[in-house]
Structure 1
Amino acid sequence: MHITSHPSNILQQNWIDTIRGSADAAEQARQLLPEQLELIYQQRWFNIITPKEYGGLELDLNQEVRLIEALSWADGSLGWVATLCSGAAWFAGFLNPQLAVEIFADRTACLAGSGAPSGTAAISGDGYIINGTWKYASGALNTTHFTANCRIMQNGLPVLNPEGEQLIIPFVFKKDEVKVIPAWNYMGMVATGSHSFEVNQVWVPASRSFRIDPDFMMIHKPQYAYPFLQLAEATIAVNISGMAIHFIDLCKATFAAKRVNKNLTEAQDSELNEVFEQAVHQLNDTRNTFYEAVDRSWLNYADGDTANQAENLQSVSDTSRKLAKSARQVVNELYPYCGLEAAKPSSEINRVWRDIHTASQHAVLTFAS
């Protein structure tokens, strides 16, 4: 049994060689390397869903998730940074057009940031004075801009929205307005450089604020009408499944060597084969169900069809969680059969194991939708 629609089919072999050939060194450096970044810039992977008006690929959602899964299969850290930074570049559909043109004129344009409202923006003239600290900005070491949510204040008091809750607005910061705080000290996704960042008493014009709301869209296309929640859920889920497929590929080679070198009994060989086949079958099933849900939901928006839209979006949320859970399960089922090489921190299979267990902690898929 093999993985259906294997993500390797999406990437050119020379791309895979560049990504994986630098993966170990990138982990040692704790950030993506220049050759990996140059490939990203050439292929515009930080701009997977950025509007074509600004030089982006503007892929449909069903194309985007398959590409992201492939990048995460090639390497967890690179795939994760491409996902989070391209996800932030999706905000281009809501940015002031003049600002967007300015940002994306740079071929190395990359937006990192945080959705946590852990900053304040005090109204000051025709702008805001920003203060705050945010965690987990993947790609913080290679970004050109940061985005972050802030609680709006005026005269020391919270500004409320029409629902009576504190108004929260996202902002764009230039790299030189931000202090990166080294804080990514976790066992996996080491090369993502997902550090914290701080903004201290920086005045930002109102033109660098934006609203993620259909009423505030600047680019009126299905990509930006599609809800950000399901976009985030689906792209994080395929990161995890891509890494799981990488792990399965490595297991296949490990198990083949074990059959030759370990003098397995017939019963042991049968068990090894059964565990592997079950893992592949389980992941194939959940991936197929997930992609069916994403494709169906995307067609709703691409065709402007509102029938069953809420139901289809809920299906994306549900199947994203199932895919992430299934990916973790199959990796954990296979891991005990991989031998001590899988426990050696310098080995590729251990890096993939660490990456998938770190990435799967992302809060967007932790609880039931």
Structure 2
Amino acid sequence: MEQIKHPSTLLQPAWVNTIRKYAPEAEQLGQLHPAQLALVYEQQWFNLLSPHLYGGQETPLPQLIQTEEALAWADGSLAWVVTLCCGAGWFGGFIEPHVAQQIYSDKQACLAGSGAPTGTATITGDGYIINGSWKYASGVHHATYITVNCNIMDGNSPVLDADGSQLILPFVLDRKDVQLLSGWKYIGMIATGSDAYEVKELYVNKDRCFKIDASAKVIDSQLYTYQFMQLAEATLAANLSGLAVHFLDLCKPAFEFKATNIRRVNADNVLVMDEALRSATLVLNQARATFFEAVEASWQNPSDEKLLKAVSATSRVLAKISRECVDELYPYCGLLAASPDTEINRVWRDLHTASQHSLLTFLD
């Protein structure tokens, strides 16, 4: 197995300095700091998955997850916003071209949204009337457009899919037509500003509706034929591994501080802490390497169901190992890791908040 690279190798030191310098202020703001946001726009990170046709990066998946892991190593909240918003930008491969052209004519275009089907879209003439509320839209404060998942209705009757289940379709809405609601009150990922939003009696034309399926793509590119589930799982797992690497990096100075300032920590204790860090680093890097190999293999042959299942499995294993490695080392870090004003505590809070995502909870 080829030696795995540290995420820092993918980012310029000046970028990391900007991202981390303003991370505490971003938490106070409850959204990305303007200096962080300026860097995101400069590097076009919100457009990592948007089509080339509209000025996007159309980044291959193996490269994407390494970039997102590196950003998570720099800061969890920034990486999560980039991941979720560029993930919504991937929908550009399925949105009606004239609507997509309008969206991406703004050089600071940013799509945010929720995958929960907690709205309704009632068929009305050549369009739909949308009502509903949605939770946890990461990056919504920076969004120029917002996506919603809706149960399709014909009057009071649900429209059924081909298999007889409720038909659920996504829509893309103008930010001005959406009311934001305060909703993110959790211990971590505070700067993601993952607040809720609602829509009431909004008419939209049918061209604002799209379908996420390879057969419905409007951009002829491999990126938009790759399975959405594995793309989502892999990008979220990369965020957790980036956070875990950051935590492990911060353990070394934390251990050194404890060894020189706590009298009860003797030479034998130092050896125990150092061995725990060495072991955790090895286990995490092995999981990262296996995960990256699975993603690369599936990208080379995206129609192979077995390879796609391997992406799902290795994503969940990486998420589990990321949590376990951090939790194994946390007790050795002392009160430094329990103070909400420290970087190591912010990383710990971010990882334990992000790891609650339902896609990565169960191994099967």
Range into which the TM-score falls when normalised by the shorter chain:
over 0.9
CA-based RMSD: 1.1
Partner of 1:322: 317
CA distance in 2, matches of 1:106, 1:67: 23
- Tell me if 1:348 matches 2:343: yes
Compute the displacement of 1:129 (Å). 0.2
Question: Cα deviation per residue 1:106-149 (whole Å; 9 max; x = unaligned)?
Answer: 11111111111100000011000000000000011111111011
Compute the displacement of 1:164 (Å). 1.1
Whichever residue aligns with residue 226 of structure 1, its letter is: Y
CA distance in 1, matches of 2:52, 2:163: 35
CA distance in 2, matches of 1:251, 1:115: 36
Partner of 1:247: 247
Check conservation: 2:48, 2:56, Cα contact below 8 A: yes
Question: Cα deviation per residue 1:20-54 (whole Å; 9 max; x = unaligned)?
Answer: 01000000111101111111011010011111111
Partner of 2:162: 162
CA distance in 1, matches of 2:71, 2:267: 38
Compute the displacement of 1:265 (Å). 2.0
Partner of 1:120: 120
Partner of 2:273: 272
CA distance in 2, matches of 1:324, 1:135: 23
Partner of 2:308: 313
Whichever residue aligns with residue 64 of structure 2, its letter is: E
Residue 137 of structure 1 aligns to a residue whose secondary structure is coil
Partner of 1:291: 292
Partner of 2:259: 259
Residue 338 of structure 1 aligns to a residue whose secondary structure is helix
Residue 300 of structure 2 aligns to a residue whose secondary structure is helix
CA distance in 2, matches of 1:273, 1:251: 9
CA distance in 1, matches of 2:167, 2:198: 21
Partner of 2:67: 67
Identity of counterpart residues, as a percentage? Answer: 53
Compute the displacement of 1:368 (Å). 3.0
Check conservation: 2:147, 2:173, Cα contact below 8 A: yes
Gap change, CA 1:44 and 1:18, over 3 Å in 2: same
Question: Cα deviation per residue 1:203-240 (whole Å; 9 max; x = unaligned)?
Answer: 01000000001111101111010000000000000100
Compute the displacement of 1:273 (Å). 1.1
Partner of 1:184: 184
Partner of 1:231: 231
Aligned length: 361
Question: Cα deviation per residue 1:244-278 (whole Å; 9 max; x = unaligned)?
Answer: 11111111121123333335322111111111111
Runs of 4+ more than 6 Å apart: none
Partner of 2:301: 300
Q: How does 1:47-196 map to 2 (within 5 A)?
A: 47-196=47-196
CA distance in 1, matches of 2:305, 2:215: 19
CA distance in 1, matches of 2:76, 2:260: 30
Partner of 1:19: 19
Whichever residue aligns with residue 220 of structure 2, its letter is: H
Name structure 1 gaps, 5 residues minimum: none
Partner of 1:331: 326
Residue 296 of structure 1 aligns to a residue whose secondary structure is helix
Greater CA drift, 46-55 or 80-89: 46-55
CA distance in 2, matches of 1:266, 1:350: 26
Q: How does 1:181-220 map to 2 (within 5 A)?
A: 181-220=181-220
Question: Cα deviation per residue 1:153-175 (whole Å; 9 max; x = unaligned)?
Answer: 11211111121111111000100
Tell me the TM-score normalised to structure 2 length: 0.97
Compute the displacement of 1:320 (Å). 0.1
CA distance in 1, matches of 2:256, 2:340: 22
Compute the displacement of 1:317 (Å). 0.2
Greater CA drift, 227-236 or 292-301: 292-301
CA distance in 2, matches of 1:265, 1:13: 35
Whichever residue aligns with residue 270 of structure 1, its letter is: L
Compute the displacement of 1:298 (Å). 0.7
CA distance in 1, matches of 2:202, 2:276: 56
Whichever residue aligns with residue 338 of structure 2, its letter is: A
